[in-house]
């Protein structure tokens, strides 16, 4: 924490317990046996507490994709070249990526923020250029970011959340793009949880067994290099994270401070969420977890966050695709909660 990010010390907003209790009371009056809709019932009640309304809605959804390259790619931890990050940013701009399709299907607002790709994309319509640097440093032998870069990235996330709030957003989703970012997410999570890299290193973009083993060894070297500086979660983020993870963490924290519900995506987004929860524990109350990623390290991060994701579909694309896929379920929970008739309205006899 430094004088460029004093806002990190602001606590999260309080959950509206009365609205949550009112929602729970409404559930007892709906024309169904209590509990018969399973987890959809407490999900709607939890959203009620977040939104301060006994009948919450998630009609206005903001999806923000943060892109940035990683210096650790020089260690050969990905099957894809770093140029793919910039190429995918262009694909987002053209509307051809998975998250582009999902955002259109959900009628969600999609913004793309380029925090620093090795390959210059040039001006792109629909892409906000907030260049922090040409990718992070190789964290095997140096901190991924300097103090100023970390502040710039976290502030970019905060500003994204503020724009969403001003637009009346009811649910905020952050996604990422960056070759090498499963390695950075694993390193960050290892530092925050004190786990061995063998437990969190996974295939990412499709590494074979030997590739995963090499990734774990790269992470061991990085953790050994930074081992005397990993007590503070902000410092963990600076040394082992990426521009996009820092931005997501900043966005999550700002959402929690403003009282805006968050849907967290997969492994990389959850690593950023874990850093956020370590910086501000009460921010965790504002997080809903969209899905369980097939990336093996995700289950460890979810466990540390005591998170119960809504979906488990074997997805591991990133880009906020898993969280976006869970939005219809959240909308259905709200519709059932808010639009089903009560026993009185339907003139149906209540249980004795």
Domain ranges of the chain: 14-55+337-345, 61-330
| Among the listed residues 274, 265, 271, 261, the one whose alpha carbon sits nearest the alpha carbon of residue 305 | 274
- Cβ count near 344 (within 10 Å): 10
pLDDT of residue 141: 97
Task: Could you please state the CATH topology (level 3) that the domain comprising 61-330 is classified under.
Answer: Rossmann fold (3.40.50)
CATH number, domain 14-55+337-345? 1.10.1610.10
pLDDT of residue 71: 98
CA separation for the pair 254, 244 (Å, rounded)? 15
pLDDT under 70: residue ranges of the chain: 1-2
Catalytically annotated residue among 25, 295, 319, 352: 319
Q: What is the pLDDT of residues 124-140, one digit of tens each?
A: 999 999 999 999 999 99
pTM comes to 0.97
| Among the listed residues 109, 23, 31, 118, the one whose alpha carbon sits nearest the alpha carbon of residue 74 | 118
What is the β-pairing status of strands 127-129 and 287-289? unpaired
pLDDT of residue 3: 74
pLDDT of residue 1: 56
CB burial class (10 A; 0-12, 13-18, 19+) of residue 294?
Answer: middle
CA separation for the pair 47, 136 (Å, rounded)? 36
- Please say if 319 is a catalytic residue: yes
Half-sphere exposure of 29 (CA within 13 A, CB side): 14
Tokens 């507490």 correspond to what residue?
A: 49
Q: What is the pLDDT of residues 214-249, one digit of tens each?
A: 999 999 999 999 999 999 999 999 999 999 999 999
CA separation for the pair 352, 138 (Å, rounded)? 66
Task: Indicate the SS3 state at residue 66.
Answer: strand
Establish whether domains 14-55+337-345 and 61-330 are of one fold: no
Q: Mention every residue, 6+ apart, whose C-beta is less than 8 A from residue 146.
A: 238
Find residue 300's DSSP bridge partners.
none
pLDDT of residue 2: 66
């Amino acid at each position: 924490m430094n004088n460029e990010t004093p806002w990190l010390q602001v606590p999260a907003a309080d959950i509206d317990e009365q609205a949550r209790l009112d929602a729970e009371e409404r559930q007892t009056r709906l024309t169904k046996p209590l509990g018969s809709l399973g987890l959809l019932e407490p999900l709607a009640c939890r959203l009620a507490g977040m939104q301060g309304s006994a009948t919450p809605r998630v009609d206005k959804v903001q999806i923000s994709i943060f892109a940035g390259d990683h210096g650790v790619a020089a260690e050969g931890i990905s099957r894809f070249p770093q140029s793919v990050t910039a190429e995918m940013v262009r694909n987002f701009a053209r509307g051809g990526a998975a998250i582009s399709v999902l955002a259109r299907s959900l009628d969600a607002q999609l913004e793309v923020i380029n925090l620093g790709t090795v390959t210059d994309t040039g001006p792109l319509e629909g892409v906000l250029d907030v260049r922090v640097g040409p990718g992070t440093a190789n964290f095997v032998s140096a901190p991924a970011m300097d103090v100023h870069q970390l502040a710039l990235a976290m502030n970019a996330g905060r500003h994204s959340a503020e724009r969403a709030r001003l637009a009346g957003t009811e649910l905020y989703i952050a996604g990422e793009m960056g070759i090498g970012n499963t390695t950075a997410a694993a390193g960050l999570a290892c530092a925050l949880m004190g786990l061995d890299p063998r437990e969190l290193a996974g295939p990412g973009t499709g590494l074979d067994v030997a590739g995963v083993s090499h990734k774990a060894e790269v992470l061991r070297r990085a953790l050994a290099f930074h081992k005397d500086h990993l007590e503070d979660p902000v410092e963990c983020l600076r040394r082992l994270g990426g521009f996009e993870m820092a931005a997501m963490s900043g966005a999550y924290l700002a959402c929690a401070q403003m009282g805006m519900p968050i849907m967290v995506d997969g492994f990389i987004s959850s690593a950023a969420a874990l850093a956020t929860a370590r910086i501000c524990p009460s921010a965790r109350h504002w997080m809903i977890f969209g899905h369980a990623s097939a990336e093996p390290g995700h289950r460890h991060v979810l466990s540390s966050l005591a998170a119960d994701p809504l979906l488990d579909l074997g997805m591991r694309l990133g880009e906020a695709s898993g969280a976006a896929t869970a939005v219809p379920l959240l909308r259905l929970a709200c519709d059932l909660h808010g639009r089903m008739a009560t026993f009185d309205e339907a003139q149906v006899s209540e249980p004795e």
